[in-house]
A and B are shown apart, each in its own frame.
Chain A
Amino acid sequence: MNCYLCDRMMLPHVSWRSIFFNELEEVICLRCRAGFERTAAGCPICSAPGEGKCLNCSQWETTEYAGVIDSGKSLYRYNHAMKEFLHQYKFLKDVVLSEVFASVLKEECSKQNSVIVPIPMNDVKLKERTFPQVDRLLDAASIPYTHCLGKNEVGLGEKSKSERMALQDVFWWNGQAVPEKILLFDDLYTTGSTMRLAAKVLKEKGAKEIKILTLIRA
């Protein structure tokens, strides 16, 4: 097959593991794979580079959102390759690209003993995009998840950070039983507002421990 990203032909990779362990098929070439940059250890909540808790997360801890997130991780940095990927996946709506990070996500989530809760999309946005891009990332890796939240029609994108911090009621509890241990999952972590707002609602509805996982730290 051809690489999903650069469309060059890829030689099929056959190994004993791929035969016996039903590994996910590689959909992009090694070259394209090398364009993505993994995060190293960094902020224990968002993986921002540096020692200890980052400035941004420390700031959150001085607000009413203090303590809503117990720990967390982002897997990749937002570099040029990732920007292109997100553009093609979210803006051009190339649904198959949900498979690109499937094996990485599968490995990451198999270590967890929490229930995975994806950040939802609101219905208007979903109809516009035609697919729920966060859910699809998990689906591609066959990772089970539960939706506990709904989202109102507020675009966070255009809001400044202080405005974002002031936003209430972006997320609401959808009535599903809230598990004690939760792993909140989203595609992109920028200011942390989405995660903080969502985590707060879940903690108020009985969640004891909330970890977060995002594919990308912008």
Chain B
Amino acid sequence: MRQLEEFLTGRTWLRNFIPFPKELVDKAISTGAITVSQGILDGRQCARCLEKSTQKIIPFFCARCNGICYYCRHCIKMGRISSCTELITWALPSTISPQSHSFHWNGNLTPLQKKASLEVQNSLLQKNDHLVYAVCGAGKTELLFPPIFDALKKGQRVCIAAPRTDVVLELSPRLRSVFPNTIIHSLYGDSPEETGFAQLVIATTHQLYRFKDAFDVMIVDEADAFPFSYDPALKKAVINAKKKEAPIIYVSATPSAQLVKQVSNTSKIFQRFHGHPLPVPEFRSLWGYEKDFAKGRIPPKLMAWVDDKIAKEQPFLLFFPTIELIEQAIVLLQKKHPSIEAVHSKDEDRKEKVMKLRQRQIPGVVTSTILERGITIANVQVAVVGADQPIFDAAALIQISGRTGRSKDHPDGEIVFFHNGIVRQMDKAKKLIVSYNEGAGI
């Protein structure tokens, strides 16, 4: 029963998917320790992800009920919710005894980081929302360590929500080594099952659908990132997963003007932790690149760029707007340099390929926007092919530019926007980067 309580506290779970014996669950329900609720609410809304569009809430003839049931396609990957499935939650106040925590970190915060760190701590004390607006490579994660430790010591439950699995995977080992005695769960699609009650949860925003009134502190990392900013359901999931009065700490290098306006407590850091300015993107024309690729040739300017990086033995990332273009380009690039790899969101070996690049086993990686944030590779050189395409908005371009010059030993790096005509978002990105270097910002 103890394990069931640890598992289910603050969570909503599909009754028929819970990894505990049925008798145990039934008993907990009969004693009132667990409450049961319907999977689909009356207004044809999914009780877990709160989706209600008719494109995602689908009627079907249910053989179990012998009638029409509805099911939710939006969160189906987490186990199907339908009118005749039930969600369960732990109903009793938590009896889980407090854990002890230790803080192992011998890095130093810069004065700017320290200031922001204290400001975050202050907002948490006053239960105010807070925005950490800091450029890529400012050391956002590190400045959160002291406030997180503080909250953990008080017995509070902390969640760090990130938009993508890649970011969760990047954050998890860092936090596990900083808080070695804390039970930490990393949750993403297909993450391995973990036991015990996690006081610190690092999760993709999608996984928050499975929490309810759970967290005392909610940290939303990369708060501007897809899919969080475009999907209102995810915003609701964040609100739902935290306790009512719990403050939200937004962290972003490229917050929307709306977020900046909405959150009154803001800490700004427009300098990287190593004190060097952000590399400023250079615009280079690449007229008719799509036609070139379609005809089976690599535009000469692009080829020259790639050859140059390989000759200098500098690792590189090459961003493309569509998977189709990646597939055309990688075949052509591999003809000349067979060890170049391509990654995209459907790629199962993504982690391994990025690791290989980091360890210098391969010269470069061709990628979709999936690698635009959260990854750090020393001395990496970056180019965007088709920077004029709408998928690369200013935020994405700033994030991509932010991959360069992150390490102390290589604070510089090349960032080139190859384009078929300069568009406003490119200009906006460049202007903002220049303004950060001058100490301004939005």
Is there a chain A Cβ closer than 8 Å to B80's Cβ?
A: yes
Q: A92-B80, A94-B80 are in contact. Are A129 and B71 (CB under 8 A)?
A: no
Is there a chain B Cβ closer than 8 Å to A56's Cβ?
A: no
Q: Which residues of A contact B62 (CB under 8 A)?
A: 130-131
Checking A6, A95, A132 against B71 with a beta-carbon cut-off of 8 angstroms, the contacting residue is A95
| Shortest distance from the beta carbon of B73 to any chain A beta carbon, whole Å | 6
Give Cα A97–Cα B323 distance, bound, in whole angstroms: 23
Give Cα A93–Cα B16 distance, bound, in whole angstroms: 14
Q: Which residues of B contact A31 (CB under 8 A)?
A: 323-324
Give Cα A92–Cα B60 distance, bound, in whole angstroms: 14
Q: A129-B63, A130-B62 are in contact. Are A93 and B80 (CB under 8 A)?
A: yes
Q: A2-B55, A92-B79, A93-B80 are in contact. Are A130 and B323 (CB under 8 A)?
A: no
| Shortest distance from the beta carbon of B35 to any chain A beta carbon, whole Å | 24
Query: Is B76 within 8 A of A92, CB to CB?
Result: yes
Is there a chain A Cβ closer than 8 Å to B336's Cβ?
A: no
Give Cα A176–Cα B324 distance, bound, in whole angstroms: 51
Is there a chain B Cβ closer than 8 Å to A1's Cβ?
A: yes
Checking A1, A92, A126 against B63 with a beta-carbon cut-off of 8 angstroms, the contacting residue is A126
Which of B68-82 touch A at CB < 8 Å?
69, 71, 73, 76-77, 79-80, 82
Give Cα A18–Cα B64 distance, bound, in whole angstroms: 36
Q: Which residues of B contact A92 (CB under 8 A)?
A: 76-77, 79-80
| Shortest distance from the beta carbon of A138 to any chain B beta carbon, whole Å | 14
Query: Is A93 within 8 A of B71, CB to CB?
Result: yes
Is there a chain A Cβ closer than 8 Å to B58's Cβ?
A: yes
Per-residue 0/1 for A20-62: is the Cβ within 8 Å of any B Cβ (1 yes, 0 no)? 0000000000010000000000000000000000000000000
Which of B29-82 touch A at CB < 8 Å?
55, 58, 60-64, 69, 71, 73, 76-77, 79-80, 82
Q: Which residues of B contact A127 (CB under 8 A)?
A: 63-64
Query: Is A94 within 8 A of B73, CB to CB?
Result: yes
Q: Which residues of A contact B77 (CB under 8 A)?
A: 92
Query: Is B69 within 8 A of A130, CB to CB?
Result: yes
| Shortest distance from the beta carbon of B234 to any chain A beta carbon, whole Å | 14
Give Cα A95–Cα B56 distance, bound, in whole angstroms: 12
Query: Is B63 within 8 A of A95, CB to CB?
Result: no
Per-residue 0/1 for A125-148: is the Cβ within 8 Å of any B Cβ (1 yes, 0 no)? 011111110000000000000000
Per-residue 0/1 for B315-335: is the Cβ within 8 Å of any A Cβ (1 yes, 0 no)? 000000001100000000000
Q: Which residues of B contact A88 (CB under 8 A)?
A: 76
Give Cα A173–Cα B82 distance, bound, in whole angstroms: 33
Query: Is A95 within 8 A of B60, CB to CB?
Result: yes
Give Cα A67–Cα B62 distance, bound, in whole angstroms: 38
Give Cα A130–Cα B83 distance, bound, in whole angstroms: 12
Q: Which residues of B contact A6 (CB under 8 A)?
A: 346
Q: Which residues of B contact A96 (CB under 8 A)?
A: 58, 60, 73
Give Cα A96–Cα B76 distance, bound, in whole angstroms: 12
| Shortest distance from the beta carbon of A124 to any chain B beta carbon, whole Å | 11
Give Cα A128–Cα B62 distance, bound, in whole angstroms: 10
Q: Which residues of A contact B76 (CB under 8 A)?
A: 88, 92, 94
Give Cα A132–Cα B60 distance, bound, in whole angstroms: 11
Give Cα A132–Cα B64 distance, bound, in whole angstroms: 11
Nearest CB in chain B to that of A95: its residue: B60
Query: Is A131 within 8 A of B63, CB to CB?
Result: yes
Give Cα A2–Cα B56 distance, bound, in whole angstroms: 10
From A6, A127, A130, A132, name the one whose CB has the most chain B CB atoms within 10 angstroms: A130
Checking A2, A95, A130 against B64 with a beta-carbon cut-off of 8 angstroms, the contacting residue is A130
Give Cα A131–Cα B82 distance, bound, in whole angstroms: 12
Q: Which residues of B contact A94 (CB under 8 A)?
A: 73, 76, 80
Q: Which residues of B contact A2 (CB under 8 A)?
A: 55
Give Cα A70–Cα B296 distance, bound, in whole angstroms: 48
| Shortest distance from the beta carbon of B311 to any chain A beta carbon, whole Å | 35
Q: Which residues of B contact A128 (CB under 8 A)?
A: 64
Q: Which residues of A contact B82 (CB under 8 A)?
A: 93, 130
18 contacts between A and B (CB under 8 A): A2-B55, A6-B346, A31-B323, A92-B76, A92-B77, A93-B71, A93-B82, A94-B73, A95-B58, A96-B60, A128-B64, A130-B60, A130-B63, A130-B64, A130-B84, A131-B60, A131-B62, A131-B63
Not counting A31-B323, A94-B80, A96-B60, a sample of 7 additional A-B residue pairs whose C-beta atoms are within 8 angstroms of each other reads A92-B77, A92-B79, A96-B73, A126-B63, A127-B64, A131-B62, A131-B63
A residues sitting closer than 8 Å to B (CB atoms) are: 1-2, 6, 31, 88, 92-96, 126-132
Closest 4 CB pairs of A and B: A95-B60, A126-B63, A127-B64, A93-B80
